[in-house]
């Protein structure tokens, strides 16, 4: 009989902190634009987005990097300067980590597949000009229908994509069918929506760990991918607490903030593996596919995913506009 997820698969990790224990069966990815924090945690990969870069460039230690980038590309269109800044941060990050960095396409292009493809190709060209191996770059694209179509085209051209702002099963299924390299389901934002919707009725203890709605969403996607041999990597993202992370131990990758990585590194509590590909292969389930109409209907039927996708795009756009304003001020 197959073991259901939520039960421990591996044993304890004596004498090992939780961060090191997690690295035994999950690739740890840093979720930050503050690359000076990376070395102490030794993640393999790192992810960025406009909000994280905006937060970083407002710190005194990163002000010279912003000024240098603007000065080097003075007179160029502001959208190009912003991509140059994102790539500059990406290059700095790649000088510290051994793996890949994710760099995001402007969220204002979330509903324009052709423009997203063009922007992604420009970003990758900028990395190539800096001597970066394209294999070390993932292009982040919003998991709209148009974003997924853009990712399919990019993957066919050898440009690896990280599907972001992913909240629903239909987004994950369509991204896998498109051949995306990686998806980033947003655990914490899913949790936020359900907690807010429940209001005073929310029971934090009862909805923690394996019962967390964000954790359940990622577990379902992971099971589906592994059961059907879908090669797209699953990377849980946007964590609010350690319980969400430990409940997804064994996921392909987890992108974690430096603050939560520090908490993991400071804990000696046992951290067993929870998700397992071999167990997922034995679960009974049906394969599904979505055409455009089916995808839009399924997404529309999921109020949480519809609202969080729209909200996430708005937030990233707002932060991109703030970042452009800083660039224009020099």
**Mind listing the pLDDT tens digit for each residue in 135-179?**
999 999 999 999 999 999 999 999 999 999 999 999 999 999 999
Pairwise CA distance, residues 62 & 110, whole Å? 28
Beta strands in the chain (DSSP E): 27-31, 45-47, 101-104, 137-142, 161-166, 182-185, 233-236, 253-256
Q: How far apart are CA 107 and CA 49, in angstroms?
A: 10
Contacts of 194 (CB under 8 A, 6+ apart): 202, 207, 213, 304
Q: Is the pTM of the predicted complex or chain greater than 0.75?
A: yes
Cβ distance 36 to 87 under 8 Å? Answer: no
At residue 4, the pLDDT reads: 36
Does the pLDDT at position 263 exceed 50? yes
For residue 298, give every residue at least 6 positions away whose Cβ sits within 8 Å of its Cβ, in sequence order, or none.
168, 169, 170, 290
pLDDT grade, residue 33 (50/70/90)? confident
- The pLDDT, as a whole number, for residue 1 is 28
Q: What is the pLDDT of residue 82?
A: 95
For residue 12, what pLDDT is reported?
60
pLDDT band at 257 (very low <50, low <70, confident <90, very high): very high
**E-assigned strand segments in 143-298:** 161-166, 182-185, 233-236, 253-256
Question: What average pLDDT score do residues 37-41 get?
Answer: 87
Determine whether 140 is an active site residue. yes
pLDDT band at 85 (very low <50, low <70, confident <90, very high): very high
Token pair of 203 as six digits: 């029971």
**Structure tokens given for 81:** 């300067």
User: Selecting from 3.20.20.70, 1.10.10.10, 3.20.20.60, 3.30.460.80, what CATH number does the domain 18-329 have?
Assistant: 3.20.20.70
Which residue among the candidates 23, 55, 59, 140 is catalytic per the annotation?
A: 140
Q: Give the C-alpha separation, 55 to 62, whole Å.
A: 10
What is the structure's pLDDT at 13? 67
Give dist(CA 198, CA 236) in Å, integer: 23
Domain ranges in the chain are 18-329
Average pLDDT, the chain: 94
Contact 240, 215 (CB under 8 A): no
Q: DSSP letter at 3?
A: P
Reduce the DSSP state of residue 86 to 3 states and report it. helix
């Amino acid at each position: 009989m197959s073991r259901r997820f939520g039960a421990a698969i591996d044993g304890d990790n004596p004498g090992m902190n939780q961060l090191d224990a997690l690295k035994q069966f999950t690739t740890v990815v840093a979720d930050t634009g503050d690359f000076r924090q990376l070395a102490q945690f030794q993640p393999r990969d790192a992810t960025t987005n406009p909000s994280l870069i905006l937060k970083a460039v407002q710190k005194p230690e990163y002000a010279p990097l912003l000024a240098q980038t603007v000065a080097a590309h003075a007179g160029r269109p502001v959208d190009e300067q912003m991509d140059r800044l994102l790539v500059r941060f990406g290059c700095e990050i790649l000088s510290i980590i051994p793996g890949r960095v994710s760099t995001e396409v402007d969220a204002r292009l979330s509903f324009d597949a052709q423009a997203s493809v063009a922007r992604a190709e420009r970003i990758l060209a900028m990395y190539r000009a800096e001597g970066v191996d394209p294999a070390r770059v993932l292009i982040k694209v919003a998991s709209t229908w148009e974003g997924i179509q853009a990712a399919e085209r990019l993957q066919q051209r050898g440009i690896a994509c990280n599907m972001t702002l992913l909240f629903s099963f239909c987004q994950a299924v369509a991204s896998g069918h498109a051949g995306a390299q990686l998806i980033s389901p947003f655990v914490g934002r899913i949790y936020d929506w359900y907690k807010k919707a429940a209001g005073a009725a929310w029971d934090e203890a009862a909805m923690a760990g394996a019962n967390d709605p964000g954790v359940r969403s990622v577990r379902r996607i992971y099971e589906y991918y592994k059961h059907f041999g879908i090669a797209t990597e699953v990377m849980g993202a946007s964590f609010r607490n350690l319980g969400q992370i430990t409940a997804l131990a064994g996921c392909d990758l987890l992108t974690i903030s430096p603050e939560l990585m520090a908490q993991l590194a400071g804990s000696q509590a046992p951290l067993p593996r929870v998700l397992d590909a071999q167990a997922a292969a034995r679960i009974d389930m049906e394969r599904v596919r979505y055409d455009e109409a089916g995808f839009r209907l399924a997404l529309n039927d999921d109020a949480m995913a519809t609202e969080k996708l729209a909200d996430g795009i708005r937030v990233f756009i707002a932060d991109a506009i703030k970042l452009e304003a800083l660039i224009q001020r020099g």
